[in-house]
């Protein structure tokens, strides 16, 4: 009798096949949900990092624009006999823009004459969108340097639109500002609107209104 009870208990030890399959199914379901949650969280962190990087780069662009406009200047005036290179330099105006409106986006260009820190001569600075990769670029080259000398390039990252306007002395908005050196008029301010991530949930817009201190011939 005692031996029979022991045999019955031995038969009851362990799990049935159905119980094992149910346990595996539940484990697989929990694992799938956990992986999906981690994947979503990982993508969220990556997207957050991308947005933060774009905001930082746009902030750098704004700071550099503000610095360039603070030190914008006219080409140096020389009374001595001018070389061909100097004559060309004298025809370059301190501020020039070129409007390129393409519907909802703009690919404007901005040229400035800037007395950059650490440079012994005036630099010509050029802001534009590189259409090969959609990045905002800043190129800087000394005014009288040879054309074969490569400019210093700064990359402010990918953007969707770059719009530049001039506020004239009467406060009117102008999308054209391209004078000859004899007729150049100093504007009151330069307004820049930059868009990133156009058409997506992360679309952002930055706006800078940068005053221009009236310059004079050096």
Confidence of residue 86 (pLDDT cuts 50, 70, 90): very low
**What is the edge-to-edge ordering of all strands in the sheet holding 161-167?**
173-174, 161-167, 189-196, 204-211
Domain ranges, ordered by start, for the chain:
48-211
Cβ(64)–Cβ(154) below 8 Å: yes
Q: Which pairs from 143-150 meet CB under 8 Å and 24+ separation?
A: 143/75, 143/89, 143/92, 143/113, 144/85, 144/86, 144/89
Question: Where is pLDDT greater, at 159 or 216?
Answer: 159
Average pLDDT over residues 67-80: 74
- Cα(176)–Cα(213) distance, rounded to whole angstroms? 19
CA angle centred on 98, ends 96 and 103, rounded to 5°: 150
Q: 166-216: per-residue pLDDT in tens? A: 999 888 999 888 776 667 889 999 999 999 887 777 788 899 999 998 654
12-26, 38-52, 92-106: least confidently modelled range: 38-52
Question: How large is the average pLDDT for residues 154-177?
Answer: 91
Side-chain half-sphere CA neighbours of 63 within 13 A: 7
Q: How many CA atoms lie within 13 A of 194 on its CB side?
A: 27
Strand-pairing partners, residue 143, are none
Contact 62, 206 (CB under 8 A): yes
Residue, of 41 and 173, whose pLDDT is higher: 173
- Of 42, 14, 10, 55, the residue nearest 195 (C-alpha): 55
Model confidence at 4: pLDDT above 60: no
pTM of the model: 0.70
């Amino acid at each position: 009798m005692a031996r029979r009870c022991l045999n019955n208990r031995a038969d009851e030890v362990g799990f049935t096949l159905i119980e094992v399959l149910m346990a595996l199914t539940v484990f697989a379901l929990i694992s799938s949900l956990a992986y999906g949650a981690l994947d979503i969280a990982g993508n969220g962190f990556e997207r957050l990092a991308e947005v933060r990087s774009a905001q930082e780069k746009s902030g750098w662009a704004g700071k550099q624009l503000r610095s360039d406009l603070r030190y914008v200047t006219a080409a140096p005036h020389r009374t001595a006999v001018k070389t061909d290179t100097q004559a060309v330099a004298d025809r370059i105006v301190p501020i020039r823009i070129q409007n390129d409106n393409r519907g909802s986006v703009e690919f404007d260009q901005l040229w400035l004459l800037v007395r950059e820190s650490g440079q012994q001569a005036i630099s010509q600075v050029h802001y534009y969108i590189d259409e090969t990769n959609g990045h905002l670029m800043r190129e800087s080259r000394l005014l009288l340097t040879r054309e074969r000398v490569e400019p210093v390039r700064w990359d402010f990252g990918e953007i969707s639109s770059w719009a530049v306007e001039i506020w004239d002395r009467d406060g009117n908005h102008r999308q054209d500002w391209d004078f000859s050196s004899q007729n150049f008029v100093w504007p009151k301010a330069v307004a820049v609107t930059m868009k990133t991530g156009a058409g997506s949930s992360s679309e952002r817009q930055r706006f800078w209104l940068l005053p221009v201190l009236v310059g004079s011939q050096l």
